[in-house]
Amino acid sequence: MQREGGHGKHGTAAATFIAIISAAALASCVGASQKNSAGLDSNTASAVAKHVVTGLANHDWRTLYGLLAPEVQGSFKSQNEFVSAVSASDGGIVDAQLTGSSTTSSAGGYSYYSQPLSLRVKDSSGVKAYSTTLYLVYEHGKWYFLGTDPPSSVA
């Protein structure tokens, strides 16, 4: 887990939780992903993205773990370790919504899906809005949750 410090009990609440994947984990995903872009379906990617957002909004960490790319799952010793890490640092997510248009791209022979994501997070000073981008990766014939960018506060 990437942790951002200095902003209250949970750090920058959304950033503490949502930046699940580090640059090193991204590099391992790219290195281990199958280079197979045949059969890509943006409707399936969109459905997976919606499932991720539902998991975030409902604090359904076990479902979210199941949607993670295998290499990201592998960065945790177990599902229970993942659940403990995110439930302790979720920062009080009260709402998550996909916003804007999605994009499917390829880089280095790998396929990615991205879509803007808005979060509302409750902390000791009230509810704050954040924006970020959700990323999926296509591997082993399926779309998986790869992670997000660190969220930015929305004024």
CATH code at 61?
3.10.450.50
| Average pLDDT, integer, range 95-99 | 94
| Average pLDDT, integer, range 96-114 | 90
Task: Assess if residue 3 is contained within a domain.
Answer: no
**More confident call, 91 vs 144:** 144
For residue range 56-73, what is the model confidence (pLDDT) as tens digits?
Answer: 999 899 999 999 999 889
State the residue range of the domain holding 68. 13-154
Task: Assess if residue 150 is contained within a domain.
Answer: yes
For residue range 33-47, what is the model confidence (pLDDT) as tens digits?
Answer: 333 344 567 789 999
Task: Assess if residue 137 is contained within a domain.
Answer: yes
Domain count, the chain: 1
Main-chain phi, psi angles of 109, to 5 degrees: 85, 5
**More confident call, 14 vs 100:** 100
Which pair of tokens denotes residue 89?
Answer: 């640092």
Task: Assess if residue 41 is contained within a domain.
Answer: yes
Q: Which residues pair with 133 in a beta bridge?
A: 116
Task: Assess if residue 5 is contained within a domain.
Answer: no
Task: Assess if residue 140 is contained within a domain.
Answer: yes
Res. 1 pLDDT band, cuts 50 70 90: very low
